[in-house]
Amino acid sequence: MPLVSLDVSDTRIRNGFAVGAGIETAIADHWSVKLEYLFVGLQNASYFAVPPPAVLTRTGVPITDNIVRAGLNYRFGGPIVGKY
């Protein structure tokens, strides 16, 4: 029996939420490092495939994602002060 691959694409707008936290600290005069975490939860989705003759349906598929970002930042110059 051959393996069947099914790619699903969805372009609908979904309601959801995002929550996260992060930290940034200086490591040198103008350099800092950061670490961030973000959890995204979106409205459940329904997907289906129609391989003849049966119809396969999957409803209530949760759409979630965990995002971790790390960064290295360089800060140019000092504060900009307006002179009047």
The pLDDT of 66-75, averaged and rounded, is: 96
Whether the Cβ atoms of residue 33 and residue 72 lie closer than 8 Å to each other: yes
Q: Please state the pTM of the whole predicted model.
A: 0.61
Tell me, what DSSP letter sits at residue 78? Answer: S
Tell me, what DSSP letter sits at residue 47? Answer: E
Within 10 angstroms of residue 40's Cβ, the number of other Cβ atoms is: 14
In order of 8, 46, 70, the CA distances from 56 in angstroms are: 13, 11, 40
In our burial notation (b when 16+ CB lie closer than 10 A, e otherwise), range 13-28 reads: eeeeeeeeeeeeeeee
Instruction: Give per-residue pLDDT as tens, 15-64.
Output: 999 999 999 999 998 899 999 999 999 888 776 655 555 566 666 778 89
